[in-house]
Structure formats: structure tokens, C-alpha cells
Amino acid sequence: MQLGRYEILEPIGLGASSTVFKARDTLIGRIVAIKTLQAGLNDNAWRERFMSEARIVGQLSHPRIVKLHDMGIDETSGAPYLVMEYVVGETLEKHLAAKKPELQQVYSWGAALARALAYAHEQGIIHGDIKPANIMINQDGRVMLTDFGIARFAAHVTQAGGLRGTPAYLSPEQIEGTPTDGRSDIFSLGIVLYQLATGQRPFHSDSVEAVCAQILKAKITPPTKVNPMLPRAFDGIVERCLARNPENRYANGEILSTELEAVARQPHPPARPKPVLNRSITNALRYAGAAAALVLALSLPIAARFYRHNLQLPPVPVATYAAPKPPADLPLWRDTQAAAALTFNTTAEELPVRPLVQPRPVRTIKRKLEAAKPNPTVADAGADGAPSASAAAKSAEQPAAAGIPMLIEISAQSSDGTVAVFADHQMIFSTPLASVTETPGEPFHAVCTLIPGEHQLSVALYKADNSLRAEKQGLAELHHGDNNLLAIRVVKHTKILLLRGTGLEVTWPNGAGDSQSEHGPKKFSAQAVEVAP
């Protein structure tokens, strides 16, 4: 079969208004693609319009646009035809039917097509039928726009003759018959981008009328809802492309390509492979889960009874409490905010009564902590706890032993609840976790003064409703010049059963309790500590 100087080799495509053949140019021996109009569309008005637009399309020269080499009219049938560059490859429509492209490929192809449209629009040419069937993927994996055969010269835009293009990829102005420009191609390219990234079109139905109605009125599902691996920025790009008002779309393809390239440069988390399980493994897991649920249901009453009888913990302190009465010669506890103003001779009646929400972070000063002289009363105590005669004689000549400041350092991952510290069964400090987390990344500090020697310490964590969540107990010895640091760390947990110690990590000062931190004791320089004003 001969068409002018071209020898027809085989048909390679059939559309609604044209047929594409593979042919050879007998004059120069080049393989080309020839597009001819279908019968019934070869009237004079259509042919003149087709030839006029072909002359303009022939001026396009872009690496992402299939070149137009020649045009003519079949002398036998009178049908016009276009002679185009032959691309070795397949259409994007066939490619999508076989596999789904990678995300980086989606961004790269979308940016290349947008830049090709920007070039054509600058020449005053719009495509008018952007769809996967009119996008070629060559043997190098590059995309190329083809079929500008029904593109219209921008200065002569008209909708005479009805819809031109594929309904599922039409813009609202093409459906309504209003004037179109390059932003109509941007709308159609947005539909192609959505399909590339998600594997489905944003507008789809069984009838042309329903599809057109969706394009004009329906709200699309964001691409990230269909494909969670997409970044949020891609939703904004597609939403702007598919804006029903052309004024709200990208003004040109160059801006669209720039935003797609910016998204491509952003790091994205790798996709998690989905586990493949056969039916037998699935059934085994289902039965195992049912058995575990049964065992858990049967063990809950036993666990609750064990917790109630064996893990009974002290009640939560009330929101406002009075300071415990200390010994006459040395206060056991003092308010951390007013500690700088109190002396060791302060009596119990002079100690302030503070609400529970009181402590503030303290600062350390740069002077070294001077070790106090040993307390003869403590050092020479008898077996029954009473001081010996020699100790009593010495105590008459020497002043009482100085109190030892114990630094309390609290780090918390949660701001819900209250943490309290007990020494020898008396509460010496408490603070809501909300005050601990006021300065992110920095631990909370407070100071409490205790008598030198051995103390039974307890740290309790209470919930927001004042019910006990966890407790840690330990033995500590406080000495002048030692590292007297009580480090408390409140961590989040996701355990089903509330076990002893859950949520608390405690490092005791100079002692080993039942809850040493897994990283060992924290180091704290031997410096004196003063309360922030």
C-alpha cells in the first residue's frame, strides 16, 4: 500500500478519529509514523482546519514532542494525513496496564511533560487531548508528547463541532464549551499525574455523562489517601492542577515542572514490604491469637488479686499539704522555692505550707561544696540508737552536724501526673510533671536537705486522677562531699498489664536499690546547689 511517497508497512494504532501506520519514506529511506483521518471526517472544512493546524504544529521542535515531518492528502480517499517521527517504544497507556511506575519516575515524567507543554504554549499551540494514549515512552525510558493533530492554534480557539478529546481527561471548560487555553492542558496533565501516582483516575464512571458531571462538581480523593507513600506536597500539586477555575491552576507548565522537581529532591521513607502469608500460616496465627486472648482473660483476675495484695503502694498526697515536722536541730524538708531564705535553725512552725504545684528548676553555683565535719552524735551512736557518753560530751562542745543537700534531677517524657519523693516514710518533695516538661530537653532540678547517713527513699508516680501508677524504693547513704544525686526518669510505656516499676527509672544516691538505671549512676560534680530566685 502506497500513500504518496510513503510505503505503508503495518497499522500500529487506531483512535476515535484517526489511524496510525508504520511506514517508510521511499525518498530517503526513513521509518516514519503516518496518521490518517477516519472516513467521514474528510469534508473540506475539517481538512482545511486539519492542514492549517498541521502547518503550525510542524514548527514545534522539542526533545519531548514527537516531530511532524510532512503532511498531505490521500489522492484516493481524499483524507488528510500527517507524517510524524517514529518512536520505538510504547504508549503510557500500555505501560500503566503492565506495571506501576516508581514515585521518582512519576515526578520525572510529570516535570518533562509539563516543560514540553510550556514550550508548546509559548508558541501559541495547545494540545487539547492530553491522555496516556498520546504519551509515548521511548526505548530510553523518556516520555514524549504526540498527537498534536487536534491541537488548536490559540488565536483561533473554538468549540464548534462538539467535544474534542477523551472525556475522562477533559477540562471543565472543554465540557462546558467555554474558551480554552494552555491551562486546559494543565488540568488534563493533573489527571495523568494522579493516575501515574495512584494507579487510578480521579474521575471514572461507566458513562460519559457521569464522568463529565464528576469533573464539573465532584471532589477528588487526595492522592496520599490512595497511595500513602506519596508526600503531602504532591496533594497540593494535583489539587492546583485540577482546580475547576482556570485562574487557580498553574499559570504555565514551567512552574508545575519546578514544583515536581522540588518534591523529587525531598527524601521519602522506603516502602515497607507486605508480608506474604499462606492460608495455613494465617489460620495458625488466628488460633494462636484466640488462645492468647483466652489465657489473658483467665489471668486478669489472678493478676489483679496479686497486685492488690502484694503491690499495695502508699496513697497519693493531696493537692495541698503541710510540711512534715522535722527534728528540732535540723529540718527534714524545706520548700525548694524558699530554700535560699531558710537556715538550718528554722523551726517547724516557721516552715511554709505550699501547694503541690510549687517547684521550679534550680541553678548550680560554681563554688565547690565544702565537706562538713562529721557529726559526733551520729558517728558515736550506740547500738540502741542513743548517743554514748563520749558522744554526749563532745556534742556539748561541738555544733550540730550540717545538713546535706540532696539534688533531685527529673527527666520526663510525659507531662501527665505527679512525682513524689519520700524519705524514711515521710514525703520530702513532690511536683507535677507539667512543670518538669516546661523546658524541653533540660532536666528539672530541686534540692532537699537531709540528715547525713542512711535513708530509706521511695519515689512514687501518680496519675492525673491521683491514683498510683508506679513506685520505686531504694536505700541511700548521704555524706558530705559525695555525689548525692537522686536521678528520676519518667518514661512512656505501652504494656497491657501495669507491672511494678513500669514508667519509672531511678538512680539512688550512693546506694543500690531495686531500680538502678540500666546506664548506671549519673555523674554529678561536687558543687554546692542554690535555689533559683
What is the percentage of the chain residues whose pLDDT exceeds 70?
A: 67
pLDDT at 504 over 80: yes
Task: Find where cell 464548534 sits.
Answer: 160
Q: From 45, 43, 44, 36, select the one nearest 17 (Cα to Cα).
A: 36
Three-state DSSP at 305 gives helix
Burial class for 21, CB neighbours closer than 10 Å (0-12, 13-18, 19+) = buried
Burial class for 470, CB neighbours closer than 10 Å (0-12, 13-18, 19+) = buried
pLDDT tens by residue, 312-322: 555 545 433 33
| Average pLDDT of the segment spanning 445-450 | 87
pLDDT of residue 260: 96
State yes or no: is 43 an active-site residue: no
Which of 88-97, 386-395, 402-411 is predicted with the least confidence, judged by mean pLDDT?
A: 386-395
pLDDT at 7 over 60: yes
The three cell numbers locating residue 213: 458531571
| Average pLDDT of the segment spanning 312-340 | 41
**1-86 against 98-267: fold identical:** no
**CA 429 – CA 354 distance, rounded (Å):** 11
**CA 378 – CA 388 distance, rounded (Å):** 10
pLDDT of residue 149: 56
Does residue 430 contact residue 444 with C-beta atoms inside 8 Å? no
| Average pLDDT of the segment spanning 119-129 | 90
Q: Binning pLDDT at 50, 70 and 90, where does residue 415 land?
A: confident
pLDDT of residue 39: 56
Length of the chain: 533
| Single pTM value for the model | 0.51
The dihedrals phi and psi of 179, each to the nearest 5 degrees, come to: -60, 145
pLDDT of residue 369: 33
| Average pLDDT of the segment spanning 477-504 | 71
Which of 33-47, 422-436, 491-505 is predicted with the least confidence, judged by mean pLDDT?
A: 491-505
| Average pLDDT of the segment spanning 515-526 | 37
Q: Binning pLDDT at 50, 70 and 90, where does residue 377 land?
A: very low
Taking the domains of the chain in order of start, what are their residue ranges?
1-86, 98-267, 339-530
Could you tell me the CATH superfamily of domain 98-267? Transferase(Phosphotransferase) domain 1 (1.10.510.10)
| Average pLDDT of the segment spanning 455-479 | 84
pLDDT tens by residue, 213-267: 999 988 899 999 999 999 999 999 999 999 999 999 999 999 999 999 999 998 7
Candidate ranges 64-78, 128-142, 381-395, 501-515; pick with highest mean pLDDT:
128-142
pLDDT at 414 over 70: yes
**CA 101 – CA 109 distance, rounded (Å):** 10
Does residue 8 contact residue 31 with C-beta atoms inside 8 Å? no
Instruction: Please state, rounded to an integer, the average pLDDT across all residues of the chain.
Output: 74
Does residue 165 contact residue 174 with C-beta atoms inside 8 Å? yes
pLDDT of residue 528: 32
pLDDT of residue 302: 75
Q: Are strands 404-412 and 485-490 parallel, antiparallel or unpaired?
A: parallel
The three cell numbers locating residue 48: 482545511
Which of 205-219, 302-316, 386-400, 438-452 is predicted with the least confidence, judged by mean pLDDT?
A: 386-400
**CA 509 – CA 478 distance, rounded (Å):** 7
* Domain 1-86 class in CATH: alpha beta
- The catalytic residue among 70, 74, 129, 185 is 129
pLDDT tens by residue, 175-211: 998 888 999 999 999 999 999 999 999 998 888 889 9
The three cell numbers locating residue 168: 475522562
Q: Are strands 418-423 and 504-507 parallel, antiparallel or unpaired?
A: unpaired
pLDDT of residue 275: 52
